[in-house]
Amino acid sequence: MDTVETSLWHNLTAETQRFIKDFLFQKLSNEKHAKILSIYADLIGELGATIKTLKEDIKAQCSEEGKQWNELMQNVWGLLNSPNPALIQSALEIMGILFGYSDKEYANYKDELLPVFKQFLEHEDLKVRNAAISSLCAFLKNVDHKDCKPFAALLPSVFNNLIVFIEKDEDAVRIIYTEKVI
């Protein structure tokens, strides 16, 4: 069943919708455990995607607060600028989820995204690099072929990272790239 079809988001008050949005980012920013961080990132990404893809008849039932999440990407960009690799990884996970639901919407931001992906494919933290590859793949799956061309320059970095991942933990690579990317 489609998430948008079963969403109860429109039944919540505007105050509750605002509280949930703020609460998720607050909890994410203060969390220390990697698995819980990943859960918050998934929740934020899925909620953002749900809001973005609400059908018009459902949107008509929503408060103004429920129809959009204006500060979502601003908060994600803030996480990308964090010195904490776990928060950067979370931001990339959120982006990957959003890209998966966005169709071609984010193609307009390819010039801004290219240096972001390049930066995090070269990050010192392997988990950040892995999240960058996953997010990059989600982005490339949902844009026109012509919009993919500038990202070809990142392929050597992607392949070099895959080699590093295989050398460090072959089983983790197998799980990651069979479940999330390929």
- In the block, tokens 């949107």 appear at 59
Distance CA 54, CA 51 (A): 5
What pLDDT is stored for residue 106 in this prediction? 87
Angle (CA) 44 45 48, round 5°: 80
What pLDDT is stored for residue 174 in this prediction? 61
Q: What are the boundaries of each domain within the chain?
A: 1-79, 103-182
Q: How far is CA 38 from the centre of its chain?
A: 11
What pLDDT is stored for residue 181 in this prediction? 47
Stretches in the chain below the pLDDT threshold 70? 1-6, 169-182
Angle (CA) 123 151 149, round 5°: 175
Distance CA 80, CA 75 (A): 9
What pLDDT is stored for residue 170 in this prediction? 64
What pLDDT is stored for residue 176 in this prediction? 55
46: nearest Cα among 122, 98, 115? 98
What pLDDT is stored for residue 3 in this prediction? 44
What pLDDT is stored for residue 102 in this prediction? 80
DSSP, collapsed to helix, strand or coil, labels residue 32 as: coil
What pLDDT is stored for residue 168 in this prediction? 79
* Predicted structure pTM score: 0.88
What pLDDT is stored for residue 132 in this prediction? 95
